[in-house]
Structure 1
Amino acid sequence: MAGTLRLLFLLLLCWLGLSQAVQAQATTAQADIVLGRAAFPVNEYFTISFRLRGAPLERYSPFPDIEGFKKSSKSSTTTTRIVGGQSTTELSITQRYAAYAEGTFELKPFTMTVNGLAVQSVGATLQVGPQQAAPTGPAAGSGAVQGLGLLDKLFGKPKPQDYVEPRDNAFLALVPDKTTIYVGEGVHLGLYFYLTPSDQGLLSFYDFGGQLPKIVQLLRRRTAWEEPFDEQEIVPETVTAGGKTYLRYRLYEAQYYPLNAQPLVFPEVALQMIKYKVAKTPEAGLDNRMESFKTYRSVARTIAVKPLPPHPLRDLVPVGTYQLREAIDRTTFRTGQAFTYSFVVEGEGNLAALAAPVPLLPAGLEVYGPDTELGITRQAGRVGGSKWFRYRLIARQPGVLALDSVFSLVVFNPTTSRYDTLRAGVRPVVKGASPAATAFNTHPDDQFYQEVLNTADNTVQRLDVYKDTHRYANYILLALAVLAAFGWWRSGR
């Protein structure tokens, strides 16, 4: 009996610890909704975004539908900040909406679920004005896109019938945007399912959530850095291939950055779909369809990888189309004063793996840091963003501080096949310290010490000047001790 009670007590403690851990994880995650401008021209997009902080994205509910608008593309942005060794990440996913016409529209209050968190929006009144430039909205006829294949049986179990399997024009494809790349250069790979509009009633997705992890596992390469796109909704987009119109479903996409010169070989992947057979003799009141399965396979793809041209730092050079943007809190200051300098790398490339530039310190300069902030945007098959390196500097010598000799970063541009150097361009001026600050760094509001320091005698004193003071202090303490002893003796009598 005692052993059973002890076991029940241990199980209770484990359950309480697990529930507290789940609650702690739930409280760390935060999400909110951000709406775009409420007034905009008809040829611009309205946007709805949600931001997630404190947890990786696991799932989210679909974005709301807006009457008078059609959903367009989506984009995701990940911002990572590293300050004092502490890392925080914020993910933002944005849905774009294209208005069909000018006018006033109502976005009703709605609720989205992000990682199980219910996030609410009060809605807005949207004012769509006349266009200001050439239309950039969705292609004509794209508003007629419907969902793919309904599975419901309208009138119960069908009667025995003879069925035939119609021919379809659907196919599964792995589509890279390049066939040859350099080591470190990104290649976008998309897995798409194509079908003609007439095939919509014949095909439907089957257990896609269960098939996707196996497909992704086959596409991952040990010799490449993978940046997946944060897309979960599978919606069709109208494309033209070979003079024929297709509905294209984006199933998975990622950016791959090869780590060495080995080719990137992506094997064929398979996707099982529900395909309906149709009755030879349709009958009124029956579904006239029967479910069957068909497996579609993609063609394997190989991406050739070229080594970088010879360079002393070839194995350490980041690859991408980068440019430098700088920031400094001020351009003129005094010696001993700390200031902040930001070395910002922007463009397309593997920013997550981009290392901070190593400063070359001249005499009289101290550099601390950096703190790092990474912002990555994945949109339209491209990955780009910016990476901030914030340094704190203290100059000990006056003069012009040439930061171009302190901060630089060698990069390889795959577009031009050349090495470039991103070099600092700001040249702050360092002045000498003020006379008061040279003697003692006082607070500017402390008037007493300012006056004392400004009027203090600066005559050179002997090194043993304080020995006499020490001797006189000992005499005074001895006299006080004698006086105290005499008083105690008189009081005792």
Structure 2
Amino acid sequence: MIKTTITLIFVYFFGIIFIPLVAQEVVIELGPDEIALNETFSIKVTISNDKIKSYNEFPDIVGFQKQGISQSSSMNVINGQVSSTNSIIQYYKPVRKGEFTLSGFSIKINGADYTSPGKTINVVDARAAQRQSNVFDPFDDLFGKTREEPEFIEIEDDAFFASSIDKEEVFVGEGFNVSLAFYMSETNQAPFQFYEPGKQLDGILKKMKPSNAWEENFNITNIQPERVSFNGKTWIKYKVYEATFFPFSEGEITIPPISWEMIKYRVAKNPSFFGSNRLEDFKTFYSSSKKVKVKALPPHPLRNEVSVGNFQLRENIAQFEAQTGEGFTYNFGISGEGNINSISVPKTKQIHKLNTYDPNVRQQVNRGMGKITGIKEFTYYLTINEPSQVNLADHFEWIYFNPVQSKYDTLRPKAIVNVTGESKVNQAISNQRLGGIYDLIEVESNKLSYERYKYYFSIFINLLLAGSVILLAVLIMRKGNG
């Protein structure tokens, strides 16, 4: 009895010792040497008798795009002994035909580095799908039962990409709105995801922006869903770009066809509890081109200078009563819809009663609801030197072209200033620079000229003139005698 007990203890003790000594084995398996364009390459890492607790990124392969990652596990019981394996698989999709090299790489699994020598992969034309016996199966059921490789299918989508314009005909200087958006119907079942929208837009805008127009970009930073309805259906709109363009010259502006790439997932035909049930793929959508006719402005002396838009005058004057010679501020604000940046300084008429100085300028531009609106303010410092009732409409005006009414219009102030006090006109003149002959006072000599020199000079000129007359008479007489 005692001997049997000792034997059991001995066996138990050595069993405890040897159980941890079962080797932890990590195997890196690479996909086949040759795959078709419609097939995937894979790198599989399998660890025995342990779980995959951590791992770093799988290597990139030139000529391939990384797809999804799946995991699988299995457990076997043989003669009472239990063994297990855990695997993680990275899939790669080829982007073109050719021969590509997967260089040797190292991957860290559970804190330890494991290396693979890499291989050469030959990508050939697409071929009919068939199950390859030499490709490892990423899905294993428990207890060694093998699950068939999942079949991924593409779901038909109800989506499109489009460019939109709000006007097909504008005047020079009149803005038209351009937007780019991805649309999905409410009933769409195909799974989509945006693919590098910022990078795609950089390339698109280089080709799309007209060279003869000013751009006001709405600067979309977050792509937000918006519900819209047309053609009897409800759509989810994802706007990726919006801007208003203000053309500088007449002619035609073309918005070219634009391609937009989206990630479109293929889904597993028979979804499984293990592994990934969708596979990353790509689909490119194309918008149609758009044309905008740009018309010249009607004849006008200032047609190459005026702003174009729908504008109003906003006055802001601190006081309507003023003293002669004392300054006050007057704000001439132009607000409305149009190219706020192009608004020029109002024209002023200077008279001795009213003195103005260069204005301070402030502007605010608002981008929203497909329009560019805002205000540009010109703040003047004014002085009036003679008592009177001053109508500011006689001194300020701003001419623009209204594209809605197709005519030129003028904004003039409505403010009237009552000026009281003594006339400061003479004081204002004395403070001004007279110019002309008065500028020579400080630089000319103040010495008196000697009058005798002027007398001799006059005699010399008279004698010269008399001699000329006598010489002319002699010449005429000789010609007559001859």
Q: Same fold (TM over 0.5)?
A: yes
String of CA shifts for 1:407-466, please: whole Å, max 9, x gaps. 11111111111211101111101222399xx9xxxxxxxxxxxxxxxxxxxxxxxxxxxx
Pair 1:282-2:271 in alignment: yes
Contact kept? 2:315, 2:413, Cα under 8 Å: yes
Q: Which residue of 1 aligns with 2:186?
A: 197
Pair 1:373-2:362 in alignment: yes
Q: 3-state DSSP class of the match of 1:233?
A: coil
- CA distance in structure 2 between the aligned counterparts of 1:232 and 1:355, rounded to whole angstroms: 31
Displacement of 1:286: 3.8
Pair 1:412-2:404 in alignment: no
Pair 1:300-2:289 in alignment: yes
- CA distance in structure 2 between the aligned counterparts of 1:367 and 1:207, rounded to whole angstroms: 54
Q: 3-state DSSP class of the match of 1:428?
A: strand
Contact kept? 1:266, 1:300, Cα under 8 Å: yes
- CA distance in structure 2 between the aligned counterparts of 1:153 and 1:334, rounded to whole angstroms: 85
- CA distance in structure 2 between the aligned counterparts of 1:214 and 1:175, rounded to whole angstroms: 18
Pair 1:238-2:227 in alignment: yes
Amino acid at match of 1:268: P
Return the TM-score normalized by structure 2: 0.57
Pick from 325, 332, 337 the counterpart of residue 321 of structure 2.
332
- CA distance in structure 1 between the aligned counterparts of 2:385 and 2:269, rounded to whole angstroms: 91
- CA distance in structure 1 between the aligned counterparts of 2:264 and 2:307, rounded to whole angstroms: 47
Structure 1 alignment gaps of length 5 or more: 1-150, 439-493
- Of all paired residues, the percent bearing the same amino acid is 38
Displacement of 1:301: 0.9
Pair 1:166-2:162 in alignment: no
Q: Which residue of 2 aligns with 1:186?
A: 175
Displacement of 1:218: 2.1
- CA distance in structure 2 between the aligned counterparts of 1:401 and 1:364, rounded to whole angstroms: 9
Give the ranges of 4+ consecutive aligned residues of structure 1 lying more than 6 Å apart after TM superposition. Answer: 151-156
- CA distance in structure 2 between the aligned counterparts of 1:164 and 1:318, rounded to whole angstroms: 57
Contact kept? 2:217, 2:242, Cα under 8 Å: yes
- CA distance in structure 2 between the aligned counterparts of 1:257 and 1:293, rounded to whole angstroms: 36
- CA distance in structure 2 between the aligned counterparts of 1:397 and 1:314, rounded to whole angstroms: 36
Structure 2 alignment gaps of length 5 or more: 1-67, 73-87, 90-137, 140-148, 428-482
Amino acid at match of 1:335: T
Displacement of 1:176: 0.7
String of CA shifts for 1:22-47, please: whole Å, max 9, x gaps. xxxxxxxxxxxxxxxxxxxxxxxxxx
Amino acid at match of 2:323: R
- CA distance in structure 2 between the aligned counterparts of 1:382 and 1:357, rounded to whole angstroms: 24
- CA distance in structure 1 between the aligned counterparts of 2:333 and 2:69, rounded to whole angstroms: 54
Displacement of 1:219: 2.3
- CA distance in structure 1 between the aligned counterparts of 2:387 and 2:71, rounded to whole angstroms: 85
Displacement of 1:278: 2.1
Contact kept? 1:223, 1:262, Cα under 8 Å: no
Number of equivalenced pairs: 289
Q: Which residue of 1 aligns with 2:84?
A: none
- CA distance in structure 2 between the aligned counterparts of 1:236 and 1:201, rounded to whole angstroms: 16
- CA distance in structure 2 between the aligned counterparts of 1:152 and 1:268, rounded to whole angstroms: 35
Pair 1:427-2:420 in alignment: no
Pair 1:384-2:373 in alignment: yes
**Aligned-residue CA RMSD (Å):** 2.5
The higher relative CO (CA closer than 8 Å, separation ≥ 6) is in: 1
Pair 1:395-2:384 in alignment: yes
Q: Which residue of 2 aligns with 1:348?
A: 337
String of CA shifts for 1:212-270, please: whole Å, max 9, x gaps. 21122222111111000132011111111211111100101001111111212111221
Return the TM-score normalized by structure 1: 0.55
Amino acid at match of 1:188: N
